[in-house]
Structure 1
Amino acid sequence: MAANRVGVLFLIFVCGLFLLAVKPEYAEACPQYCRDAEYMICDGKKTAAACNCCFAGKGCTIYYGDGTSSVC
């Protein structure tokens, strides 16, 4: 019975260490919607538009039909 408790405590300890090692700032959530994008500019080139910044590359700018834009 005591050995089971030690094993469970050890498992909880190891899981706690793992959770402390996880870096949540590296996790990126992608929105599950698609805006009405007209076109996109990446590296100075006009390309077909992506729905949102999750599908575009870093540094790209998406231009939407309502006149707004998003820099990714």
Structure 2
Amino acid sequence: MARSNACCLALLLLCGAILLGMNPGTMVMSAVACPLVCLDVDYMTCPSTGDEHLSPQCNCCLAPKGCTLHLTDGTSVSCS
């Protein structure tokens, strides 16, 4: 009895994973590494705020996508 219950539970979990689009054979985990380097950022601009100078973030991992970090040496880093 316990064996048939375990088989039914495993089959139910497999069907649920397939229905949710999580095919166990093709699941690939992807992660983005964020460096612990804090750039010398003077200010930040983002498309949503136009030319408004926003408080700076340390690097692009912490800044919203599409924003630009303006460094104190006059260069800029675009966060994509």
- Fold match, TM over 0.5? yes
Deviating beyond 4 angstroms after TM superposition, the runs of 4 or more aligned structure 1 residues are 17-20
Residue correspondences, number: 54
Letter paired with 1:69: S
TM-score using structure 2 length: 0.58
Instruction: Give the Cα separation in 2 of the matches to 1:22 and 1:40.
Output: 34
Structure (1/2) with the larger strand percentage: 1
Aligned: 1:22 with 2:28: yes
Report the CA distance shift for 1:20/1:66 in structure 2 as closer, same or farther (over 3 A): same
In structure 2, the residue matched to 1:4 is none
> How far 1:35 sits from its partner (Å)?
0.9
Instruction: Give the Cα separation in 2 of the matches to 1:41 and 1:49.
Output: 9
Root-mean-square deviation (CA), in Å? 1.8
TM-score using structure 1 length: 0.64
In structure 1, the residue matched to 2:73 is 66
| Identity %, equivalent residues | 46
Aligned equivalent of 1:50, options 24, 46, 57: 57
> How far 1:18 sits from its partner (Å)?
4.9
Gaps of 5+ in 1: 1-16
Structure (1/2) with the larger helix percentage: 1
